[in-house]
Structure formats: C-alpha cells, structure tokens
C-alpha cells in the first residue's frame, strides 16, 4: 500500500492534506489532517464512488486556492477489473486534476520507482532476488523492472492481449499457478549479482 509512503512525505513536510481517497482508508490519515487549518496539499487515491463531480471539483478548487499547490497521487493506474467489468482507476482522475490545474502530481504508488524501491527496502532484498507477479503491464511489470526486479505478467484481471507489443516481462503466465510453475522451472538458471 502506498499510504505509509505518502504519510512519511506529509509528516516530513508538515502538510495538511485535503483527501480524495476511499472512505475505508480516511482514518489512516487522522494524525496528519488538521480540520481547522488551511489545506496545503491534495492526496488522491482510489476513491471509487467518491470520484464524484462534487469531490473532484472540491479537490480542484483546493489546489487552485493554494499558493504552492501540491498533489500526491497514490498510484497511476489506468483501470482495474471489479465485478467482471473494467473501471477507471486513480490515474485517470489524477490526469484530470493535472490538466485542470497545471500541477504535476507526485506519484507515490505504482508504477513509481520510489514505491518499488521502498518495497525492496522493506523486504531487505536486492532487486535481482525479487519477482513481481501482476496483471497490469504498466503498473506492475514496468514499475518492477525499472528497479531491476524480474516480473511475470499474468493473463488475468485487467490483462490485455495488445500489451504484447510494449515492455517485456520476464514471463507471461496464464494465471498465478502457471507463474509459479514458470518460476520453479527458471530458478535453477537464474544467477544473482
């Protein structure tokens, strides 16, 4: 989750965020949100149904009212699959705010290199020993390979066949079980630096 990463930034710079996140995670920001003070940044995450016109416009106005607007986005996903249907992800709403305000967001979730590097630091492992398995070429595979991890793209969830012409994962698997089989076959041939 990118929340600990953005919380570290908020604490380090004593920022008071306007939140546009899912209601289930709002409480995680309780110790940095100061309701009585002016907002000094906007934090945007997967807000799901909270990405209403009213809430987007509120975040827009908050940024426009700031002397030095700061926008933090907890990811840059394009879409995800929910209940069998594709849904717009936070990256789309982030792009709208960036376009409207001229403010470029700091991405603290996938696919940001910093996000994957923090995960490696937490695991205390070198990138060569980590394999990322995901269904998102741009959010999972590209982000992981940019920090030196191997990556498996699984043909589940939001996988699209057209992705084959873009970045190359270490493997493409039909599902997680197939990914494990491919990993077990390949491990004896992998070397680490």
Average pLDDT taken over every residue of the chain: 89
Predicted confidence (pLDDT) at residue 188 exceeds the cutoff of 50: yes
Task: Name which residue leads in pLDDT, 173 or 52.
Answer: 52
pTM for the whole thing?
A: 0.77
65-91: per-residue pLDDT in tens?
A: 999 999 999 999 888 888 888 899 999
Residue 72 to residue 70: CA distance in whole angstroms: 7
Predicted confidence (pLDDT) at residue 51 exceeds the cutoff of 80: yes
Which of 56, 86, 107 is the C-terminal boundary of a domain?
107
Which of 66, 81, 107 is the C-terminal boundary of a domain?
107
The torsion angle over the Cα atoms of residues 139, 192, 164 and 172, rounded to 10 degrees, is: -90
**Which domain CATH number covers 175?**
3.40.50.1000
Task: Name which residue leads in pLDDT, 150 or 96.
Answer: 96
In a shared domain, residues 60 and 150: no
Which of 72, 107, 142 is the C-terminal boundary of a domain?
107
Rounded alpha-carbon distances, angstroms, from residue 171 to 66, 79, 184? 45, 22, 12
| pLDDT of res. 167 | 59
192 located within any domain: no
| pLDDT of res. 193 | 47
| Range of weakest confidence among 57-71, 120-134, 161-175 | 161-175
Identify the band that residue 119 occupies on the pLDDT scale cut at 50, 70 and 90: confident
* Structure-token match 């979730």, residue found: 109
């Amino acid at each position: 989750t990118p929340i600990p990463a953005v919380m570290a930034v908020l604490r380090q710079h004593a920022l008071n965020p306007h939140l546009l996140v899912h209601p289930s995670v709002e409480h995680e920001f309780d110790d940095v949100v100061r309701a009585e003070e002016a907002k000094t940044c906007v934090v945007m995450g997967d807000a799901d149904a909270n990405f209403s016109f009213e809430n987007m416009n509120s975040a827009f106005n908050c940024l426009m009212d700031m002397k030095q607007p700061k926008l933090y986005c907890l990811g840059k996903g394009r879409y995800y699959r929910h209940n069998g249907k594709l849904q717009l992800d936070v990256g789309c709403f982030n792009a709208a705010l960036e376009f409207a305000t001229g403010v470029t967001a700091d991405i603290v979730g996938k696919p940001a290199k910093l996000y994957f590097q923090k995960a490696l630091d937490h695991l205390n492992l070198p990138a060569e020993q980590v394999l990322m398995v995901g269904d998102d070429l741009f959010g999972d595979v590209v982000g992981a390979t940019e920090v030196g991890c191997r990556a498996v793209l699984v043909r589940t969830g939001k996988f699209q066949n057209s992705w084959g012409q873009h970045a190359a994962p270490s493997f493409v698997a039909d599902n997680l079980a197939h990914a494990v089989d491919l990993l077990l076959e390949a491990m004896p041939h992998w070397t680490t630096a």
